[in-house]
Amino acid sequence: MRRPFALSKPAQAGLEPQRSAPRGPLRLRPGKAGSAAPTCNTEKAYKSCAVALPAGLIRAMQDNPTQVPLWRQLQGAASLLMAVRDGQSMTAALEDVDAALRPGVQSLGFHALRWLGRAEALRQQLAKRPPPPEADALLCVALALAWNEADAPYTPYVLVDQAVEAAKRSEATTHQASFINGCLRRFLRERDELVAITDKSPQAVWNHPQWWIDRVRKDHPDSWQAILRANNNRASLILRINERKTTPGQYLRGLAAMNIEAYPVGEYGVVLVNAQPIPSLPGFAEGHFSVQDAAAQLAAPLLVKGLAPMHGRGRLNILDACAAPGGKTAHLLELVDADVTALDIDARRCERIGHNLQRLGLQAHIVVGDAGQPDGWWDGMLFDAILLDAPCTASGIVRRHPDVRWLRRPTDIAQLAALQAQLLDTLWPLLKPGGRLVYCTCSVFRAEGDVQIQTFVAHHTDAILMPSPGHLLPQNGVASPASPTLPDNLAGEHDGFYYALLEKRNA
């Protein structure tokens, strides 16, 4: 991957930076994740959810020379865009960015990726022939940040000035500085006209690839615009309260005492109005909460509520397949006294399960293994319940991972749907008669949701589809005329998900 800007300590120390995932066919790995793009609902996803930097930061930088100059942050955001264009997830690319630069680079990078469709359309109007990749990335970042002054983190004139400075200070772009300056100055003069021209492009209006727009429109003809609109908004930080330690009401009162504004969502959730550093929140070390979206919080209760141990066994025997980083495993253990096997193919991610459970004061049987090959880890004892949080396109969590839309390819849907079908077929025999299986994905595509389950039920006569949430579509906060609550959705703030509860007929 090209590294035009010196942003990371490894690069400065002469160490080899992390390589990007190549573009091209999706390389599937049974387990949690199937590609370079992020998968559903990890704690890391929420911690990486960026908040726009304050518009007065430039002045603060001038007053305090220890602050990171904006031009360096713009270089970093351009480097992230190049990484995404090379097929690497932004989360992975951020790991190579120096810690002092990371917060600002992350914030600008998230913003730029949310409005990349508009930026690329504007660049095409300003320069019919694309400049070299390094200059194109920097130009597109500046356009994405500046095109809508009402949403810009800095004034357009400051962004233009600092983008040109960023170009001058990098060997990869210094010869393009005049070109970048000319394009951006023209944009400032002709902004309204140029934006009106790009309004004719669906990719510019909706800031998603055309194939993605077409697919969402086909799958959700009555809701496609609301889905795409929600994807371009920032997602709130949501906590799941550990009811073995406290209650949502008690925790909300504790936040209010610290002047931290928050409100409840769902049965266990708390939404923070303004994002906060996770470790600084009250009760973090004591395990009073986990970070988890409101839609993801439905998985555990859907599986275990009303489920009793069978055949005289005193405790439920539950499998959480594709379990890392352990959010749903922990929720299962918070709700019921059970023997839970937390399975994941990735040993390092299994370590995260252990660390998360330890903080919460919970225990599970953590197993490194492939959910698609139970001969390597299963002891032959049938499960009362199975939670299959299957690998998917992550098309429901674009609010938290704006790079997903640009990383995915149309062929990924069919490849991941095939893997999901294999996992369903493989795990179903491990379930007791009378037992339950919850299938879920953080996807809005029907091929990974109701089409997948209808096909499974049609081919398995012992499978009963129980009342289930089905497709939950992403939405932000309280409904309004401009952003109505979608049919069958939860009230309030959550990501896109799909849920199906299956019960196995008694023989």
Please list the active-site residues.
Answer: 442
Specify whether the CB–CB gap between 406 and 84 falls below 8 A: yes
Separation CA 477–CA 289 (nearest Å): 21
- Residues 254 and 484 sit within 8 Å (Cβ to Cβ): no
Within a 13 Å sphere around the CA of 311, how many CA atoms are in the beta-carbon half? 11
Q: Beta partners for 499?
A: 440, 470
Q: Rounded to whole angstroms, how far apart are CA atoms 449 and 455? A: 10
Structure tokens at 479: 């409904």
For residue 69, the SS3 value is coil
Q: Is 166 helix (H, G, I), strand (E, B) or coil?
A: helix
What is d(CA 162, CA 169) in angstroms, rounded to the nearest whole number?
10
Q: Residue written as tokens 């499960």?
A: 383
Residue type, 13: A
Q: How far apart (Å, rounded) are the C-alpha atoms in residues 414 and 343?
A: 24
DSSP state of 355: H
Contacts of 337 (CB under 8 A, 6+ apart): 315, 316
